[in-house]
Amino acid sequence: MAPRMDLNSTEFGAKIAKRFFNVSLAIEQSTLPRATQNLVMLRASQINGCGFCVDYHFKDAVAAGESVVRLNLVSAWRESTVFTDAERAALALAEEGTRLADAHHGVSDATWARAREHYDDEQITALVYLIAMINAANRLGVIVRTQGGAYEHGQFAALAN
């Protein structure tokens, strides 16, 4: 499938992309552990089938020092021994927050309670916004068929102004 368009190629698209990036940058700079952020973004991107976002978040996680073993096991995190209880809680919240249309009651109280055991108010706020933002990014990528494979770590750094 060929990409449909580059959303950043117009003045309007670039204006929105900059603001979108800056919200993501604020989340990145929160006290939510960066490793957790990377795992959550990768998992949501896998669920949503966004090749560009999977490529982007895998490469950025590797550049941040994340283990390839852990990244390869994100899709099977429940059956893996390499994630902390806090990361498992974040991944569960990310999955339920991503699969809202598939879930009868959205995010379960049990999943929310597990996440709250591990994250303070600032971190849980960052986690909720992160899940919303990555799902929005995934939908943008899937709608316009942004292809994975060509992302280079740091290529969007110029947007942080």
**What are the residue ranges spanned by the domains of the chain?**
19-147
CATH dotted code for 19-147: 1.20.1290.10
pLDDT band at 1 (very low <50, low <70, confident <90, very high): confident
What's the 3-state SS for 93-118?
HHHHHHCCCCCCCCCCHHHHHHHHHH
Does residue 157 have a pLDDT over 80? no
Which pLDDT value is given to residue 134? 98
- Are the beta carbons of 137 and 44 closer than 8 angstroms? no
Residue-wise pLDDT for 101-131, tens only, equals 887 788 999 999 999 999 999 999 999 999 9
Does residue 156 have a pLDDT over 80? no
Residue-wise pLDDT for 28-86, tens only, equals 999 999 999 999 999 999 999 999 999 999 999 999 999 999 999 999 999 999 999 99
- Are the beta carbons of 137 and 19 closer than 8 angstroms? no
